[in-house]
Every structure is written in C-alpha cells, then in structure tokens.
Chains A and B, each alone.
Chain A
Amino acid sequence: MPKKKTATPRLKKGLSQMLKGGVIMDVVNAEQARIAEKAGSVSVMALERVPSDIRKDGGVARMSDPKMIREIQKAVSIPVMAKVRIGHFVEAQILEALEVDYIDESEVLTPADEKFHVDKSKFKIPFVCGATYLGEALRRIAEGAAMIRTKGEAGTGNVVEAVKHIRTINEEIASLRKMREAGLKKYAATEHVPLDLVKKVRKLGRLPVVNFAAGGIATPADAALLMQLGCDGVFVGSGIFKSKHPEKMARAIVEATMNFRDAKILAKVSEGLGEAMRGLEIATLETKLAGRGW
C-alpha cells in the first residue's frame, strides 16, 4: 500500500493556492459565515470581534471561543480560518485540535510574546502571517508560514497602509533581483533570514508563497487596487459587516476581485452600495496594529 503523507509544506501551501483570486471575509457568527459563503467568499475568518470593534472596545483581544468556531465550521463548506495572538502557540494548539483549515497569527489580537512568533513548522495546520515589508515576510516563511498577507491597518477602512506594504514588498523584490551574491548575503544577514530563501525570491521574482492583501479594505475599488498591485487575493475584515448593506458589499467585493482589471465591471459592481464602513485617518490612531510583530 503506498504511503500517505499529511501536513507537508506542499499541502499547506496548496490550500492557499486554491484560494487565489478570491476573498476571505471576517465573520463573528454562523449567520455571517453563511452570508459570506453565499456572497462567494472562498474562506471565512472566524473571530469574536471584527478589528474595528477591537479598536473601539479596547482591552486584550484573544483567540475566539471554540464554540463559536465550531458553529461556523458546521455552517459552511468553505475553509474556516481563525486567529491566534502573535507567539501564542497554545492558542494555536487549540485551533489545531479544532481542525480549523488555516491559522492566522495576527497582529489584530494582542501579542502574547514580545520575542518569538509561533514556530509554525511544528504544526500540521498551515499558517498565514502578516507582513509590512519583505524581510518580515521572509522571517515568517522561514518559521513555517505557508501564506503571507499585508498587515495594512486593520479596522480602519483605510487602504493606505496595505498599499504601502505591498508596494514596499514589490520594490524590495525588484531590488533583490538586481543584487549579486555578496548583496544577497548581506541582505539575508541584515534581515535574519536564510540565504536560500532570499535566493528563491530573487529567482521567482515574487514571494514563494501566496500573498493576500489585508487591512483597511472597504470597497470593491480597494480590493481591485490591491489586486492590480500584485496581491493574489483579498482579506476583508470590518469592511463587510460594518457597511450599510453587508450582502451587497460582500458580493461586490467578490466580483471586483474576480474582475480587478475590468473598469466597466468595477463601475457596475460599485453602484448603489450605500455607505461603506466609516474610515479612520491613520494619523489619528492611538494604536497602530501593524507595528505589532517584527
């Protein structure tokens, strides 16, 4: 009998490859999960409070109640993701026991460790992690992350930080491609990342894992903007269920992500959506979530 292998890097990466070109939505209960699935979401992120509420309410934000996660798993057939605090490997063990499909080690929750991120290679469940620039993305990949997303600035409905992060990563990859051996070595040493990984990025001209946009996406145009900047897909947090018509907004963002280069379709799906979530100016924020992690 041939031997089956599970939880290989290829399988962990593979699931995120299947999500490309799609939208992953934050949901706080089974009903929202069903709305997201019906709107064409390729996966849902189960969490207790969307980022804009975490921002508003303050306090320590932690992994969600397993009961709620189970209810969401029962409600939909698409993959279910859930968040753990940065470095909180026990929360990750719990999510693995729940058999979620992906774990997000997320700056949206209050960090649990100031020194170490979770050693993701030890887990069978794949991880997605946020990054603001290339070195950070590569450190997470070296720790075992199978998918990367921009951090953006979650819960603001302001896309400016996500744009900054993907542009930064793109520029850094472009400059890596011009580097010779000595430059690559120096870069790897400065960023504390394996040289092999740096060389791989140089060769591919992109991250070696799927890279989604996240943090501040509030409209179909925002989603298409990040797709045109080279993201493989989009996470939408507060942007859906904090908008005036969540079903319509969810569907419009899904269709915009599919047709991100077609301005006529973008115009059509952007019509009459009602108010998007109320945005926040980055300069007025008391807490910048993107600064969490390193």
Chain B
Amino acid sequence: MGGKKIGILAIHGDVAEHAAVLRKLKIEPIEIRAAEDFEKIEGLIIPGGESTTIYDLAKTYGLISPLRKFITTPRKNLPTTCSESCRTANHQLPTIFGTCAGLILLVKFGLLNVEIERNAYGRQLDSFEVNLNVPILGSRKFPGVFIRAPKILRVGKGVETLAEFEGTPIFIRQRNIFAASFHPELVNDIRIHKFIFGLKSPR
C-alpha cells in the first residue's frame, strides 16, 4: 500500500465494494465504526446502504459530530498524494465521497448545500443502468448504476455539478465533498474513485 489511508463509514452497506476499488488504487481502506477511528484517516467514503439505518446508528454510536468535525477541519499535513484537481479546490480539507445513501447522509449532516428526494426514481423495479457522460473523465462514458436512487432536486451556492442525467445532477462537488446518486463502486471502471482519491490526474 502507498501509505494513504481512506476511511469507509462501516455501519452497514457496500463497504467491501468501495474497499476493493481503493485497493486497486493502492490506497488502504480503513473501516470506521468509532469516533477515534477518524484519527487514522486522510479522507472518507460514505457508502451505499439504507440511509435511515446508517444515520440512526451513527447517532447512537456518537459518530455524527466527529464525522462533521473531520470533514470541516482543515489539516496542515494533508497528503501530497491527493490528485491535483481535488487538492487545489480542497483548501486543505480532507476529501470526502458519498454514494447514494452517502449522498443523502451528507445532506442530512448539513454538509452539502443541495435538496434531495429519497427513492425518487421509484422502487427496485425502477432501478436502472445507463451510460453516463462525465466530462471530467473525458469522452469515454461511465457505467452508471442507480439503485433505488435519491434525486438531487436543486443544487445551492458553492455546489458544482460534475455530471447530470436527464437534466438532473447526479454527480456533484462542494469544495472537498464529492457525492453521486449512483454507485461507481459496483462497476469495474475505477475512474471516479481515481479522480477523487487517486495519485495523479486520471486523464
């Protein structure tokens, strides 16, 4: 491992899938279940799962305020391994990535200035796959997997839309925080994780 450690909030959900992508990028995944775990990491992933369950257990185990503190506190010794694109916009804040439920939770924690609707695309029957145009990744499409996905209804000030589908933002960034309503961890294409956490620019 290259020494870089990224945490994955491991209350439940597809933690192992995110961990597998990080390992492909030579990054060590650290499972986060307790407040002191935040001291070991330089960035954080909030995975897919059931947002109500994750929120509730995060509350019980006293994780919400350490998590918010971790996300909003600048760090002097932030690793130089962070991709150039994210480091410059980062203001020395750790890099965060939420997928699906992770997006919902970042909004619930008051860290993302967007309005969302849960399960807005419908039930499991309406879950879908579609090839996405993600400009920051170049012209090759990215396989989007949407499972009982939340919908981003509005983005507020300071939020940049990195990709959209049918006129709706599906991949956004607010300073150091990235969030997607789909699941890049479920496909073999690792470009999104690489863009966010990788050693160099993915292009």
Contacts and interface: CB of A to CB of B under 8 A. Distances in A.
Secondary structure class of chain A's binding surface, majority of residues? loop
A40 to B, nearest CB: 5
B15 A21 contact: yes
Interface in A139-160: none
B26 interface: no
Interface in B100-117: 100-101
Contacts of B133: 2
Contact of A18 (B10, B11, B147): B147
A102 to B, nearest CB: 7
Contacts of A5: 128-130
A10 B129 contact: yes
Contacts of B88: none
A91 interface: no
Nearest to B118: A77
A18 B53 contact: no
B189 interface: no
A33 to B, nearest CB: 13
Given A5-B130, A6-B125, A255-B57, A14 B33 contact: no
Contact of A40 (B56, B100, B132): B56
Interface in A174-201: none
Contact of A14 (B57, B125, B126, B183): B183
A4 B129 contact: yes
B128 A14 contact: no
B52 interface: yes
A125 B53 contact: no
B50 A42 contact: yes
Interface size, B (range):
35 or more
A185 to B, nearest CB: 28
Nearest to A210: B14
A20 B13 contact: yes
B53 A101 contact: no
Contacts of B84: none
Given A2-B130, A4-B129, A79-B148, A22 B14 contact: no
A229 interface: no
B97 to A, nearest CB: 16
A101 B127 CA distance: 10
Interface in A40-65: 40-43
17 contacts: A3-B130, A3-B131, A6-B125, A7-B127, A14-B127, A15-B147, A17-B186, A18-B13, A19-B50, A20-B14, A22-B13, A42-B53, A101-B148, A126-B124, A233-B12, A254-B53, A258-B11
Interface of B: 10-17, 33, 48-50, 52-53, 56-57, 60, 100-101, 118-119, 123-133, 141, 145, 147-148, 165, 183, 186-187
Instruction: Please give me the 10 A-B residue pairs with the lowest Cβ-Cβ distance, nearest first.
Output: A21-B12, A101-B124, A22-B12, A42-B50, A4-B128, A17-B14, A5-B129, A11-B127, A14-B147, A40-B53
Interface of A: 2-8, 10-11, 14-15, 17-22, 37, 40-43, 77-79, 96, 99, 101-102, 124-126, 233, 254-255, 257-259, 262
